[in-house]
Every structure is written in structure tokens, then in C-alpha cells.
Structure 1
């Protein structure tokens, strides 16, 4: 039967871009003007149609005929309800993310940040509070609401891997890391605009040539980690990083700044930092002082490590402290006669080269000073590392003597932010500096070769005689900690240098044919290893898994200092001490983190009779004295503000070049690491501005409410299995694991359309589950929930294919009713001043035969 075109009816056809509810029909000559509202967009559409076009329209009557398929109708309503699950579950993201968040994380996101219609927020919890988890929860909630499709995360380069891994593993969000090679290869396109979820390095993005293309991209959400790097001393002296922050602030609606050290105790400096959030609100210090007097700052949240607790135990009701105790000891050793003679000879060589470099103000002079300081650091690491470094330099000099080469140009700016770079890039910069430090004149080359040959021979002799008081000290410490007697006691041992790593792996493990090792099962992580995955040998994630399941010892360079989680290990050794004290906290954070059940013990190895060892020992002692006095580990979080990353290296270069004395250097360290300066930051009134006591009882109560309203796996599973045939899927399986097989082409097209919001849809799914608990036994299962691209594609396809049944209506029978009733399903939304939807709800109005009305839940 042909349905007539009427006002209130719905028409579909090739002439219209979407289904339209008719509000106007008007003859115009031999044609018909038809106007109406699009059911998807809400926009008014008006067309002039000829008879052929009118006849081709699919028309649904204004009043339902109630002859639609009841099962399809019910599935479509369920599809609509599941698309709005975030509106009913106050902690929705917990149902779709592989996280078990802590009370302070829930409070931060759901009580402080998410309620804001426009998010401009500074989250400044102490290190280890899980700010990456909080950022991921926020991202999932905003994406579920359709408020975010394009996200940019800006972080120090050495943290990119950690962010990429956390988002992928915990939140099923894939981010592309954008680097220089991507920009150089993007002819005629803008990769910032082409990719919807991007991770990038702060120090790369601050470059003028990068900012130029970055300025042409708009984002829905920008997250900046370690945001304190974007501070400025005053409005007239803005750093390149601060200027990058200003640019990014203008390119997004939602901006989240993350840092554990938000201020330096200076309100004016802090006010400039907050202007990245809002220039008008924080335009001057007075506005900040007003907030300080009220002790209220809705834009700013900060909780200290000591205040963080777990959820109360269900049996005892006790909430435990989040972090166990940690003890740090200095393992002091003294170089013996032959070792000290080698150290003395190496120091003279380094001083002679450094004095020459001091007279050279060029980039080459800077490269020489840096390289010589690096050689001294490598000796402090191990004689093996020093020997290999000197041998490589000798080989390069001899090669240059045989075949003179042009001087290699060197960009000394590459050294400024070297501590922020990932290890593979650090190696590249060090190699470039080492190459640039080589002399060009034949006579200078010959002189340096003459200096180096006896040094190399001394190092070889020491190694051949197995002279190493440091290695002996290591064996002593391991014996005291019963490493050799208890295979279950795991050890994490850090070194800065790959050569030392190779040496330790050999000595701790099997050794060589001529020199047997200590027989421990050893794995390793270094910057030359790809990230990979947990099932691919030779990758970092495989090594992490191997350490957890098989190996007793992990030897690691700084590549394991971030992004690797080793809380199953409680014993750590810093075989060499990084000259950047912030690295110590990063290393300790691999084991001293949430999930650690044992008190942690850390040993710092220091040579007590070398100048470098005495300086490092003084620095460490000062830090621990201040930590004891202040009673907080925050000392290690803010040390970078007081003692910048490259300060110690500069001090040592001054010493080697004769610009300062050893005693003056020690005095400078004591003066710089000053109790008063730490107190100024940790006890600043700015701290009180943001500190908020954790309302644990409120969080527990709301969590109970969320558990009652949360989508249970059975609901998700029932919908998916019933909707799958409509979407063209044939699901097989029993129990709680199912095989979907290949995804049909029409569904792939739907997935492609939804990709900006939910990520890429796979072409095949062999083992899926709807219950998160099944991942404990088999983490390789694909967990399908709302927000998963497969689930969302099936949900969307079901909704689209049910439109005709929805317009026609359907009849349902209720055995518990005696009177008929009419149910009308409505979707209502609330928009902000800019027309953006901020809330949506689905509800049902029931009209009975007596003219009465009542509102029902869509689960009816």
C-alpha cells in the first residue's frame, strides 16, 4: 500500500541527505516543494521535486501503524540507551577501561574536572599518583559524550613511550607519536591535521619550524605533561616552551596541565603559568592573591603522596597508605692503587683537553667540554665503559690521521635539553658531540693519540687482572641481601651507559668461556631495544615480562627509567649515579609505586676517594637531610626546580677546565641544595591554595551507587549477540568467550565512519569476551564493551537498520497488565551557550487508556 505524503510523515530517498520529518508541502507548477527537519542533524532541508522524485520517496506515516518488528524495535531502543550509558553511570569509564582506579583519581576526574563545561585545569598531584590514568579516564569520558575527537598530548620526549603504552593497554586508545621525520616526509600535507590522536615531544614542538605547522591545527583536547617546563620568569622573558604553551592554549577548548611541581613558591611566576589556562581570569597576581585568601581554586587540584590511600578493606574497613616505606643507602667503596692511578691519569687527560676547550668559544669547544665530562662519567660507571669509550675515540683519531676529513658541524643547542630526550636520541647526540670534538689538525691528532694509547693500555690491564673494587662491592651487597641464596628476591640494577650494562649482564649472568659469571638469570633493557610487545623477544615489554616471570635480575639503562612497571621487585641498585638528580626519583619510581607490597631498599654506589664521588655523595646526603627534616619525598620531586638537570655537568666542566676549585664546587653544591629554598616551595601558601582533603566517605558512597547503576557484562553480551545478525555477523562460541570471525564489508564502512571517536575497527575478531574478569586468566582476549569499535559499529548498524521499524512502531504484550497503554520514547538534550550538547537522556512516557501519563526508564 502506497503511503501518502503528509505533514508529520518521514521521507527518505536519494534526493535527501538523511531521513526528514515533513513540515511543508507546497505545489510549485508541476513540481512539489517539500521541507522538513533532518532526523539526524536537526537542520531544515527544503527541496523542489518532480513527480519521478516524489514517487521514488520512501514515506512513513505521521502516526505509527504498530506493524514494525518488535524484536528489532526493542534492540534499537537498547542501542540508543547503551549509547548514553555514561549519563546513567557516574563512573562510566571504569566499565570500559582496564583500570582499577583509586579514590583520589575518581575524585579528581568525576568531582573536580569533568563537571566543568569547558575544562581548563591544572592537576598537580605528587609524582606516582597516576596522573596518566586520570588523563585517560577524562579522555574516555569526553569521547563517550562526543565532545572530543581530536586529542594532542605534549610531553618530554622520554615519556612519549609511557603515555603511548598506558593509553593503548589501559584505555584501548591508539596515539601516533609525531617526530621530525614525519614532518619532513609530509609533502603538501599537515600531519598535525591528518592524525586525530597525537603524542609529541615538548622540546621538538617548541621549534619555530614545527610550531608553524602546529599552529594550523585545531584540537578538542590538549594534555600537557610535566607542564612546569612551560613556566616563564616574567612577561618580558618567555621561554620557547612557554610560547609553545601559549600557542596550544589558543588551539583547544579543553586543556589539562599535569605536573608534580606547579610552582616555585613565587606568586608572580605561578600567575604567568596559570595564564596558559585563562589569560583573563589570571591576568594579574591580585586575582591569585584573592584566591589564596579564600583558600579556593576550582582550576587547581593538588594532593600529596603521603595523603593518598586505597579504598577501605571490605573486611576491616581500613584504608591503607598508597606507598610503602623506602630506604636509601649509600654503598661507599674506595678505588685501590692501580685503579686510582688510572683515574688520576684519565683525569689529567680530561683536564688538558678541557682547558683547551675553555679557550675555544665555538660549538666545537662546547662539544669537547661535554665529551670530556662524559668520559669521566663513564669511568665512574665502570672501567669497562671507560676503556670502550677511549678505544673508540682512539680508533676515530687514527682513522682521521690516515684519512683526513672535514670538520663535522655541530649544533650545540642539541645539548641543552639532552636530559629530556629518550635514550636512543641521547646516544645520537653524544656520538655527534664526540665526532665534533675530534681535532682537525694533524699535529693535534698525533698528540692526542700519544696521550690516549697508554690510557687505553692501563684500562685493558686492569680489566685483564679483574681489578674492580666496585664490582667486589656489588658482590658484597648482593650477598648481604641473599640474592645468591633466594632466587625469589629480584634485583633491578641501573646504569647510565650501555657498555657498563653489557659488562654487568656478563658478570652477573653466565660470563664468558675465560671468565665465568655469577650464574644469575639476567634480562636487560636499553635504549637500542624497540618497545615491541610482551611476546616478542628482544623488546622492552618482553624483557619486563621475562623479569616478572623468569629472570631474577634486570640490568637497565635510563630506557627503563620511565614507562616500565616493576612493582613486583623491591631491591634496586644505582650502579652509577646520574648527574641529573631527577633521574634518581624516576628510577626509584619503577619499583616504589602503587601495587608495591614490600618496603623498598635502594643502594647508591659511590667511589669515596674520587672528586666526582665526593660531590655526588655530598649532593645525596644533602637531599636526604632535607627530606628527613621536611618529612616528605616531595624533595625529590622539586629538586629539578632548585638544581637543574645540567647544573652538575656544568660544575664539573668548570672544574676540569680550571675555572673553579674542588672545594669551591663542593661549597656551591651545599649552597644550591639549600633547606630554605626547598621549604619555600613545599611550604608555600600556593600549596595551601590547591590542597584538598580526600573525601573518602563520599567517594565510597558514590562508588557503591555507580556499582548499582553500572552496565553489567550480561547486558552488553545479550545486546551484542542479538544485534550481531542484524549487523551481518555470525557469532560462535560458548561460555564467556566468542569467535566473531571476519567483519563484513558494510560493517567495516560503519566502523570507518566511527573511527575518529572510537578508534579503528579490526577486520577479524577470533576471541572476544564481554566480562573484564576473564582478562585475569587470559589477557590476550579482546574485551568488547561500549566504546569498543566492534561494539559501537554493531550498535550503530542496528540503530540505522531499525529506523523503519522505529517509525512504524511495534506491539508488545505484558502478561502482568490488564489495560492497554501507549509508550513513546523521547531523547532530550541540554546544550550550552555555543550550541554544544552537554547532556542527553532517553526516557519513556507511558499514556494509559484513562488519559494518565507517567515517565518510565528506557529499560522498561
Structure 2
């Protein structure tokens, strides 16, 4: 739940969100048009149901949604329907009856909301042309009806007094100069609003499903930098980050409650600095408006009862699009009265309250979250390594850039532009032909930060993999100045998939063969090794290593499986329980309905609707159980060899004994001072000991010397010292073999001035350490 999340200092990660329902009544003229169109929709819908023309029935519900969106949207839909009927009249003699009525057998089911918006438009455009007429006289009659409705809509639009539009204008005036995001389901409504809002003097832009990902990203940037208002369809509810805006208007309310949360998620997200305000526009004197208003009122009532707006995070799990659509259909057919809407929404309201009460009692495991955050911080790849990789590739390929004060300017190499296909563009955005003021430093506000996920870096990584991937398999030689490693290191990629054949996890494994045994080591071992200028690789033999790699991948899969089981356990506790409650409630209602039927009441429609609802709940139960089973069913692929290196090292007599003395003295020192030390020297994290107390974490690098020699820090150690600053400690043990002396230095990055030597070593003179003792 977003509202319950805290950072690791206990502060809320997400700001509050406030919802405001602006319920208004249509004017007399608007209500007259609404009733005329509703009569047409109801008559067509009932005929379609009676003749089992489900596609046409759904087309009528689609028209009802257009009417709920805007007068302009329903007018445009009526126009397209009229034009289709005219086209059929002109060609009826050459068409089959199936072509006249419309063949919708190849269309997906009614639940197509997960498709791309462009595809949804194609489906809805096809459905808009459906008709029950199958002769010229019937087509003429329908065209005449449609013409009358279109004329009434046009006359109302020309009057310039659309109530809903005036409500929006009031909100804009109240907001002042703040940025505002406006959502609508209908592209026609979006086009209409763009024209109107611009005529009011506001700067405005748009995002919709007809735009490419590049165009959407450009529109997002335009909204951030230049425009005050963005009008968008659901396409802006996916993959677009608009947290620089904190005010949103739902010009129409989606019948799929999940869409509400998706829309809110564009601005109510991580790094949103201000409280979020959501305005919902609802015509309370319309049938669908009454249903949506009652739903929003219930959500607001629960929000007030529990004192939290996280009710919106689970609304889509309780109220489905099918639930809302069925209630609206029943109101249109006259099967239920307005006051009965409350009763139809009540079962879901009860389960929603129960879930909220249970979840409010759940304690968030902040200790576990802190451990996860600590691990991420310790293992996160330093920006300097990303920058070094970037520079090395450009140097190797002869590509040009200019760099000044850490800012890079360049033209994107044509090789990178050629590999940037549609899939990468959808995933990462546009790869521009030119970049200015790129920076690898996340703390620089004026530059464009480049890291993983940035199109230029992702293109560079992919090109490097294709260009030099074979070289990794041929092997190369590195040197370990510390003398710790001497042998062969194999790098494998391990992949784990679930029952849906989706990725459950992927990571790199390193296996070190010293000639006597094969052990798993951290892939970060590379950070502390020096590439040999004259690489020589002996003949490599993978025999015996593959089995060790497979064992590593299997251990990794077991960890993933434990985490998956923990998550599905939560789903079982809340998801299955909530659906079971809905099933029990539905079965109780059916028993009541059958009792009333036995007593002579006409309960046929109520029983049919409740039986359909019960079967949907049961299918949701089965689907959730299948989903959890597939999530827990994990399969590991055979480890894939990525590369191999040979490591050479100088002979340093007594090195291991001296290091052990240094570690022993460090661990004893930490325990004496009430801290709990952990030896992590084998993980190549850039420090040897993690020492924890109630008030601090110390990241300790241990250096032991026989005498009082200079101390060497690897590049990885130096960069970690820079990252952790006052939490990073250098423990130097002099005279380790005779009379050990411990010198403790906090924040060596700030307090020492080492001499850099070679590629991965920083030399700290003994004299500097002596001064720190003083």
C-alpha cells in the first residue's frame, strides 16, 4: 500500500492524495438529448439481446460511454454510425446479409482493456458500425433516427453551454497557474478539450494511443518544460511519469475501476513532492453518473472511516469492470430502480471494508526493508564504473565526444542508431542523434543523468555485447596485485522462469578454480583485478565447472522460490479470502431469491444475473489459484557461459597469515565496543567487515602490514569510501606479525590524499596514516 510505505528514516515515501467529486446536473436541454439517445440505446440494446446479437449490444454500451464522456464524443460516434449505414445502403445489393449485419467473430471478447489503445480503437471503430437493420427501408429509418440525434447534439454544442465543460473551466480557474493533467477515455473528447482549453488561453499538449513512444516521451517533456495542461487518454496511464504535476481531473470516470488507480499512478508516485488532488466530474442526474457517483461516495466513506486513502489501491480487485457495466446495463433496461443501486454495490463494499480493516492491522516489516535497502546500497554499481565503461567503449571504437567538468556532449554513433529497433524504443524511449550536458553524476541537477535505462547507455551496452561477446569466450588474462587469487574465473548467466514462462530472476555467477577446488565468488572480483597488457590464456577446460555453476543457479532458484511463496502467501490470505467472501455472499443471495421465487415473486432476471455473477466470482477464484501456482512453479535454465579469465598473482610470503591477524584484531575491537561484526571479505564489496550497532553501520576495510609500509586501496575500495563517507572506516594493523598496532581512520576519502598508481590501486603513504594517529 503506497500510503503505508516509509523510507528508511520513517518518513512517508508517497504524499497524501485527496479526491474531490464534482457532481453536477445536466441542463434541461442536455437532459432532453441524454434521454433521446438513451431511448435509442435501450431500444437497440434490448433488440440485440433478444436476437442474440451480443456484439451490437456491446456497441450500444460503448455509445452510452461516449455519451458519458462528452456531447462531442457521442455526436462523432453517431456520425460514424450514420456514415456506415449510408455506405451499406449504397452497396447493399452487392453485400451478403452477414456483411450487412457485421461479422464480429474475429473480435476479442468484451474484456479487451489490456490491449494497446490503438488496437482498442480499431475494435471500437468496427463495433460502432454495427446495425440491426438488414434492408434498405430499415437502414433508411435508422439513418433518419441518427440524423435527428446528430442535429440535436450539434445544436447543443453550438449554444456553448455544456455544463460539464463549464465545470472543468471552473476547476482550471481555481487552480491558477499549477500544472494539471486531464484524463478522458475518448479520443474525440480529448480533441474537443484541446481546442476548448486552448481557446481559454491555456498552453496545452496531449498524449494518446495513436502516438508513437517517441512522440509520447516528447509530449511528456513538453508538458514538463512548456505547457500548463495535458489532456490524455489511457495511453498516458502507462509508462509515462508525470510526478512534476500534482493535480488531475477525470473528465469521465472509467467503468473499469483499475483505470482509476492507473491514472492516479501517473502523478501519485515516487518522487512526487506535493500532495496530490484528484477531481472527478460526474453528471449525477444520469443513469451511469448515478452509479459512478454512488461508487465514489462509497470509496470516500470507507476512506474517511479508516483514515487512509489506500482504498483506491485495491478497488480494482473488488469492483470489476463487469460489475459496474452490469449495474449500468440493468439501470438502462429498467430492471432496477435508482435506490436499488446501493444494494447492488453493498456486497463489494462489505468485503472492501473487511480487507481494509485487516490490512490496517498488518505491520510493515521495516527491519527487512532496511536490510534490502542496505544490500542495494552496498552492491549498487558506482557511477564511476559506468562512466569508465562508457569512455572505454568510445575510445576503443574511435567515437568522439567532448567532456568538460564532467559534462559530455556528443553525436550518437551511427552504429548505435542502427541497432535501436522498435522494441528497444518502446522499452527505453527515443535514442536521440545528439546529446548535450550528459552527466554520470546523479547529484548534478543541470545535466541529463545517464545510467542504466538511458537509451544511449543501453545502446552502448548492447552494441558492446554484439561486437565483443565472442572475445569473452576466448578468455583473457588479469593480474591480482593483492596476491589473493591465482587460477581461472568463469562467468555464467543463470536464468529462472516461472510457470508463465516469464522471468523470475536473472544474475551473473562467478566460479573460481584455483586448481584444487571450484568455489563460487562474487562477480565483482573483476573490480579489483588489473587487465594484463600481454594477455596469455592457457587452454581452458570447462569440465567440472559447469556442475558447480548449475549448483549455484539452483541455490539461487531456491531463494527466489522462498520469496515467491512469501508473496503468494499474502495473496492467499487476502485475495482468495476476499473472493471467497463474495462467493458466499452471492450464494446466500441466490438462496434468498429462490425462496422468494417459491413464494410467487418474479425473480427470473435477478436469479439469472446473480448466477452469472457467482460464476464470474468462481472463475476469478480459479484464475487466482492458477496464477499463484504458476508463480510458485520455477524452472532454472542451464547456466550460460559468458566468459572466462585467467588470473595471475605475485607470490607474497605469509600474506594469508598477516591478513588473518588483521581481521582477528578488527573483529575483537568491534566486539569490545558493542558492535556486531560480520566478515564479508570474500564478497568483493569494497570492504572486509560490516559492523552493526543500534546507532550505526560501519563499513570497514582492513589492511594488515608486517611493518609500517604504505597501504594500497583498490579502486573499488576507494569508490566505496567515497560513497559511504563517514560510515566507511579504514583499519590499519601495523607490525601484524610481531607487536600489532591498530590505527582507525573514519572517512578516509575525505581525510586522506592517496597517490593513484596503475588502474585499480590508490597508495596511502605510511606518513599520512601516522599523522592520523596523532
Name the TM tier (shorter chain).
Answer: 0.5 to 0.7
Displacement of 1:531: 1.6
Contact kept? 1:847, 1:853, Cα under 8 Å: no
User: Aligned residue for 1:324?
Assistant: 15
How far apart, in 2, do the equivalents of 1:724 and 1:802 lie? 22
User: Aligned residue for 2:746?
Assistant: none
The correspondence for 2:119, drawn from 425, 446, 470, is 425
User: Aligned residue for 2:31?
Assistant: 340
User: Aligned residue for 1:603?
Assistant: 279
Change (3 A) 1:479 1:843: same
Displacement of 1:574: 0.9
The correspondence for 2:194, drawn from 493, 501, 505, is 505
Contact kept? 1:720, 1:791, Cα under 8 Å: no
How far apart, in 2, do the equivalents of 1:608 and 1:647 lie? 19
Displacement of 1:845: 5.7
Displacement of 1:356: 1.1
1:137-286 equivalences under 5 Å are none
The correspondence for 1:495, drawn from 164, 168, 184, is 184
How far apart, in 1, do the equivalents of 2:146 and 2:370 lie? 68
The correspondence for 1:529, drawn from 198, 201, 211, is 211
1:637-656 equivalences under 5 Å are 637-656=313-332
How far apart, in 1, do the equivalents of 2:65 and 2:23 lie? 17
Change (3 A) 1:451 1:674: same
User: Aligned residue for 2:228?
Assistant: 552
- Where in structure 2 are there 5+ consecutive unaligned residues? 490-511, 513-518, 521-544, 557-643, 660-680, 685-713, 715-759, 762-774
How far apart, in 2, do the equivalents of 1:679 and 1:686 lie? 11
State yes or no: 1:373 paired with 2:61.
Answer: yes
Contact kept? 1:525, 1:543, Cα under 8 Å: yes
The correspondence for 1:835, drawn from 550, 553, 564, is 550
How far apart, in 1, do the equivalents of 2:654 and 2:49 lie? 97
Displacement of 1:492: 0.8
User: Aligned residue for 2:74?
Assistant: 386
How far apart, in 1, do the equivalents of 2:306 and 2:267 lie? 23
Cα deviations by residue, 1:309-330 (Å, 9 ceiling, x for unpaired): 2354xxxxxx420111111111
How far apart, in 2, do the equivalents of 1:744 and 1:800 lie? 27
Normalization by structure 2: what TM-score? Answer: 0.56
Change (3 A) 1:441 1:712: closer
The residue matched to 1:492 in structure 2 has which SS? strand
How far apart, in 1, do the equivalents of 2:62 and 2:414 lie? 58
How far apart, in 2, do the equivalents of 1:843 and 1:333 lie? 75
Contact kept? 2:302, 2:311, Cα under 8 Å: yes
How far apart, in 1, do the equivalents of 2:374 and 2:468 lie? 32
Cα deviations by residue, 1:103-127 (Å, 9 ceiling, x for unpaired): xxxxxxxxxxxxxxxxxxxxxxxxx
User: Aligned residue for 1:444?
Assistant: 138
The correspondence for 2:352, drawn from 670, 678, 701, is 678
Change (3 A) 1:367 1:668: farther
The residue matched to 2:366 in structure 1 has which SS? coil
User: Aligned residue for 1:30?
Assistant: none
User: Aligned residue for 1:579?
Assistant: 255
The residue matched to 2:113 in structure 1 has which SS? helix
Contact kept? 1:504, 1:555, Cα under 8 Å: yes
Change (3 A) 1:693 1:786: farther
The residue matched to 1:321 in structure 2 has which SS? coil
Contact kept? 1:522, 1:553, Cα under 8 Å: yes
The residue matched to 2:550 in structure 1 has which SS? coil
Q: Select the structure that is richer in helix.
A: 2
1:759-798 equivalences under 5 Å are 771-773=440-442, 777-779=446-448, 788-789=461-462
Cα deviations by residue, 1:761-814 (Å, 9 ceiling, x for unpaired): x9x9998978344985443868669993466679878878995x77xx99x9x9
Mean CA deviation greater in 415-424 or 832-841 = 832-841
Contact kept? 2:403, 2:409, Cα under 8 Å: no
Mean CA deviation greater in 400-409 or 499-508 = 400-409
1:815-826 equivalences under 5 Å are 824=486
Contact kept? 1:822, 1:847, Cα under 8 Å: no
User: Aligned residue for 1:228?
Assistant: none
User: Aligned residue for 2:246?
Assistant: 570
Cα deviations by residue, 1:44-93 (Å, 9 ceiling, x for unpaired): xxxxxxxxxxxxxxxxxxxxxxxxxxxxxxxxxxxxxxxxxxxxxxxxxx
How far apart, in 2, do the equivalents of 1:851 and 1:608 lie? 81
Contact kept? 1:495, 1:557, Cα under 8 Å: yes
Cα deviations by residue, 1:308-365 (Å, 9 ceiling, x for unpaired): 22354xxxxxx4201111111111211112111111211111121122112111xxx2
The residue matched to 1:788 in structure 2 has which SS? helix
Displacement of 1:564: 1.4
Change (3 A) 1:793 1:437: closer
The residue matched to 2:651 in structure 1 has which SS? strand
The residue matched to 1:601 in structure 2 has which SS? strand
The residue matched to 1:349 in structure 2 has which SS? helix
How far apart, in 1, do the equivalents of 2:159 and 2:325 lie? 32
Contact kept? 1:770, 1:784, Cα under 8 Å: no
State yes or no: 1:306 paired with 2:26.
Answer: no
How far apart, in 1, do the equivalents of 2:268 and 2:412 lie? 44
How far apart, in 2, do the equivalents of 1:466 and 1:718 lie? 61
How far apart, in 2, do the equivalents of 1:553 and 1:671 lie? 37
How far apart, in 2, do the equivalents of 1:683 and 1:794 lie? 56
User: Aligned residue for 1:395?
Assistant: 83
Change (3 A) 1:579 1:741: closer
Normalization by structure 1: what TM-score? Answer: 0.51
User: Aligned residue for 2:292?
Assistant: 616
How far apart, in 1, do the equivalents of 2:413 and 2:77 lie? 55
Cα deviations by residue, 1:812-845 (Å, 9 ceiling, x for unpaired): 9x9xxxxxx9994553143777735559999876
Displacement of 1:573: 0.9
The residue matched to 1:835 in structure 2 has which SS? helix
State yes or no: 1:518 paired with 2:197.
Answer: no
The residue matched to 2:181 in structure 1 has which SS? strand
Contact kept? 1:740, 1:767, Cα under 8 Å: yes
The residue matched to 1:331 in structure 2 has which SS? strand
User: Aligned residue for 2:651?
Assistant: 847
How far apart, in 1, do the equivalents of 2:376 and 2:484 lie? 36
The residue matched to 2:271 in structure 1 has which SS? coil
* Structure with greater contact order relative to length (CA < 8 Å, sep ≥ 6): 1
The correspondence for 2:341, drawn from 658, 666, 685, is 666
Displacement of 1:682: 4.3
Change (3 A) 1:411 1:672: farther
The residue matched to 1:567 in structure 2 has which SS? coil
How far apart, in 1, do the equivalents of 2:324 and 2:336 lie? 14
The residue matched to 2:213 in structure 1 has which SS? coil
How far apart, in 1, do the equivalents of 2:204 and 2:412 lie? 42
How far apart, in 1, do the equivalents of 2:314 and 2:133 lie? 40
